[in-house]
Structure 1
């Protein structure tokens, strides 16, 4: 039920309190409720969903029950070998193994006992597809679309998607819908699919401020919220956790606040931190992400790191040794008409397509435009140490703009005037004019374009090996007639560009935990009754981004482990828990001294 803090009694007790209502926190709350716990879910903002609601909702879980539908040959052992090679010593092998063991169980358990349903994408390659053990399909799960009307008034609690990712005033579309919409005049099947979408949206807008057909991250959040309400979980929004109260057995209570209201809530089983990480922390952001302007972050606003501060005060510690403290994507930024900023992540729709290049201030290419968005963001920052590459410039010609769009500019080449007038999109009748308007070296840009035009003819990019892996080719244009699906010429005037910045899309560094997601202190001992999952937890990926959905996958797996352990703890005494080996605790409780790389 959706409640207000003032409606809770002064002496309320819950078995499990979950802090943060993103994908990981909502999953943990749902698993605890399925196990019979009385659960309180606390969210600091006015919406549930966090950054998950903005995302594609992809969840990376190898060897799930859905994998065989698209890939019968993949195994958990294959995935473990792949992660070992991709990540190495940047995270604990024991933690990675715990994730791989728990992930399929979490999917099966939550699907069998709730309205949360997944399916495997038919083709969704691991990002590091050149590494042995990678796959092209089967590990990336996506939520089934969800009818938001089933939520009734609670529909308004779901964080709306990024407006620039919707069409026609709030109609959500996924990657399959986009293909049908672009081909609706060329295919009867696409016309029929598009017609159904448009008719549904027209009906929605008669009674709702946005479309109620939810896909991607919004679908996952909608299904989680519906299931939580069906299970009687108490949900508080606009509510902050001010304090964790500890006793002989660890965390025993929390103090919550909303405006002038305060409540101390007793906790029998545990507190699970899933508040989204440190990315908007007023001090830690500057220390851990130097040079990354908060205005470039496309994440939801709730990840302030406040819950982590409380854990640190209770003796917790942050992990070390990750490749990066955050996960990254190139973003472009535009001021909306209402004065807010639109931060648009360039995941796959433009930069990897033929006829697109990215250059720095000297006009030179400095990376493989088809690399994963995480490695792209890291490369921007590394290159910026020697030549100005923040911002970088995504450049194309009129044909590239028409076919693929450019950031917030949709494919088709129409309606450019607003983007040109506010400077988001820059146009030049010639390459020299474009370079002049961008303030970059004209000779450098001309040379870069000339080189890419030669490479488009041969299909070989000797500078950055663009289009040489399965992942890179998947993000090219399958219908392109050239020898390389990622390489095409730039030559049809006028020419266009948008500015790119490295945007942090989630925290990779977080609180150190054991294999049951229990938060560890500085002596590698669990802090009783305190758990972490999602981006509050040190990522098992070690700051590496090996495949799609590698934040939501571990968020689900460790949310499952934390919830089952906390729910079991709430039903037993501390002494009984020490000897318990029941179904609720499915993995050994391991005091993991390698939870962060030394």
Structure 2
């Protein structure tokens, strides 16, 4: 096909929409295999939400875990994942994800720019196949000087990007290192064109096949031909309030961890245009988030003290739960008719800031001025400030303090799981149970945040988008949060979103690299 003659402005073998971990894994796989590849990012920075992340990657039995001496295997990972996820997602999809993880890590580490190491971080459920310390890997730190001008095109850390707090970027870690390393590796292939401020507005569909995309650039509209296929890995719809209310029944477009204006459902609209079947539209990678004066909310985890109370002034869950599990508890509580959005994070004066991990940490003075941090000399006084029943809050704290003394949380079992204890810093018989007894007492607003939505295209084991009859849409692939998650309604362990997104981006590119294989029906 002569792309220009057929009305295209340019052509490539593969077009990837998005620039997070899933997108760049697909792009790197294609480009390193000799396919001309165009990466389209609609914002001014590469990296998406992945650039904000800690870049944990959950891929059981891979060689980075083996180097660390971890006694893990794909079979153990399958046992754990299948127990936790169940049959909510297709067995062939789970099999492809878990079996491909070691192959993906080996493939990436063949490039000296892409190296990983084990970092302890417990899996999120007590289930067969769970291993002590978890099975997450992370990219090696990257001196920012090695990025050269790419550094200016890498999305800054979330504290800087959304809250204006400067951070040292001399050495990049986590998601900054992951995206930085992918940018360098892609550039080195000589087969990739990476573009910012280029928004896909629609797919080009000819005779039922996706043959390219229409994009808006600073210089106008362009039509790009994708001879092997288009990969949609542009995130979900977490930044769009209207879509969130429609699918979740809740606001939250400003509470998500995603960059403002980034993931507004462009991929979802394109998928619907192509007749894709979708799933998990009611789900997200949930998390508690501290509400900030600018209206944004910061992902909050690893509580070292304090309790969470609802509008009734009562605890409703183990506050040390993994963040997605706590998010689901907030949703379940909200469904009872008692407001759980926001909840109040209540702690005593032994802490000079919130006893949890938040990036950035709240500034108490600014929060007080905004009404998001309230302080009183007594619990009854604090209850009045946060509009919960005083007697209920006092009884809740009294009961919790009794648990702290005994070391046993009889209501919610806080401190009994390795994940709970991973962040614990308290004293006494249970380091997760620190009594609230030193006035004045404080309360900070916590809302329901997320790390992205989960709803997207149903796909096969190679990331091919399926229509309502289960047939692949020719030329169209999806990965990351543009695809319905293989994890279903749960978040099995740290790095599941990145791990699964990268696997299916890799598998999609491998499929596109084999035209004779791609032509066969699944």
Q: How does 1:46-125 map to 2 (within 5 A)?
A: 46-113=44-111, 115-121=113-119, 123-125=120-122
Distance 2:271 2:499 in 1: 23
Distance 1:519 1:269 in 2: 14
Aligned match of 1:455: 403
Distance 2:33 2:450 in 1: 35
Distance 1:165 1:496 in 2: 28
Deviation at 1:525, TM superposition (A): 1.0
The answer on whether the counterparts of 1:517 and 1:558 sit within 8 Å (CA) in structure 2 is yes
The answer on whether the counterparts of 1:16 and 1:268 sit within 8 Å (CA) in structure 2 is yes
Aligned match of 1:250: 209
Q: Is 1:567 the counterpart of 2:516 in the alignment?
A: no
Q: Is 1:307 the counterpart of 2:261 in the alignment?
A: no
Distance 1:44 1:120 in 2: 33
Aligned match of 1:416: 364
Unaligned 5+ runs, structure 2:
1-6
Q: How does 1:351-500 map to 2 (within 5 A)?
A: 351=303, 353-354=304-305, 356-386=306-336, 387-401=338-352, 404=355, 407=358, 410=361, 416-477=364-425, 480-500=426-446
Aligned match of 1:177: none
The answer on whether the counterparts of 1:244 and 1:251 sit within 8 Å (CA) in structure 2 is yes
Aligned match of 2:235: 276
Within the candidate set 237, 261, 283, 2:196 is matched to 237
3-state SS, counterpart of residue 400 of structure 1 = coil
Distance change >3 Å, CA 45–CA 329, structure 1 → 2: same
Aligned match of 2:3: none
Distance change >3 Å, CA 408–CA 246, structure 1 → 2: closer
Distance 1:28 1:269 in 2: 13
Structure 1, residues 561-596: CA drift from partner, whole Å, max 9, x if none? 011111323xx5xxx7547xxxxxxxxx7x4xxxxx
Count of residues in Structure 1 that have an aligned counterpart in Structure 2: 513
Within the candidate set 112, 126, 147, 2:123 is matched to 126
Within the candidate set 228, 232, 245, 1:286 is matched to 245
Distance 2:401 2:153 in 1: 49
Deviation at 1:281, TM superposition (A): 4.1
Distance change >3 Å, CA 64–CA 460, structure 1 → 2: same
Q: Identify the range of structure 1 (378-387 vs 239-248) with the bigger mean alpha-carbon deviation.
A: 239-248
Within the candidate set 202, 215, 224, 2:173 is matched to 215
Deviation at 1:80, TM superposition (A): 0.7
3-state SS, counterpart of residue 371 of structure 1 = coil
RMSD over aligned CA atoms reads 2.3
Distance 2:149 2:138 in 1: 25
Aligned match of 2:142: 146
3-state SS, counterpart of residue 358 of structure 1 = strand
3-state SS, counterpart of residue 495 of structure 2 = coil
Distance 1:282 1:438 in 2: 26
Deviation at 1:519, TM superposition (A): 0.5
Deviation at 1:424, TM superposition (A): 2.5
Structure 1, residues 225-272: CA drift from partner, whole Å, max 9, x if none? 111122231011111112222234722222221145122112111100
Structure 1, residues 286-322: CA drift from partner, whole Å, max 9, x if none? 22111233222222232111122122211211025x8
Distance change >3 Å, CA 165–CA 276, structure 1 → 2: closer
* TM-score relative to the length of structure 1: 0.81
Deviation at 1:12, TM superposition (A): 1.8
Unaligned 5+ runs, structure 1:
1-8, 172-200, 202-210, 580-588, 592-598
Distance 1:164 1:472 in 2: 29
3-state SS, counterpart of residue 38 of structure 2 = strand
Structure 1, residues 510-534: CA drift from partner, whole Å, max 9, x if none? 1011101111112211111110000
Distance change >3 Å, CA 342–CA 243, structure 1 → 2: closer
The answer on whether the counterparts of 2:20 and 2:234 sit within 8 Å (CA) in structure 1 is yes
The answer on whether the counterparts of 2:12 and 2:36 sit within 8 Å (CA) in structure 1 is yes
The answer on whether the counterparts of 2:407 and 2:430 sit within 8 Å (CA) in structure 1 is yes
Deviation at 1:91, TM superposition (A): 0.8
Distance change >3 Å, CA 238–CA 167, structure 1 → 2: closer
Aligned match of 2:156: 160
Distance change >3 Å, CA 410–CA 42, structure 1 → 2: closer
Deviation at 1:449, TM superposition (A): 1.0
3-state SS, counterpart of residue 179 of structure 2 = helix
* TM-score relative to the length of structure 2: 0.93
The answer on whether the counterparts of 1:164 and 1:344 sit within 8 Å (CA) in structure 2 is no
Distance 1:385 1:262 in 2: 45
Structure 1, residues 91-145: CA drift from partner, whole Å, max 9, x if none? 1111011001111111111121251211111x211011x1111122352011111
Aligned match of 2:4: none
Deviation at 1:29, TM superposition (A): 0.5
Q: Is 1:326 the counterpart of 2:274 in the alignment?
A: no
Within the candidate set 271, 276, 279, 1:316 is matched to 276
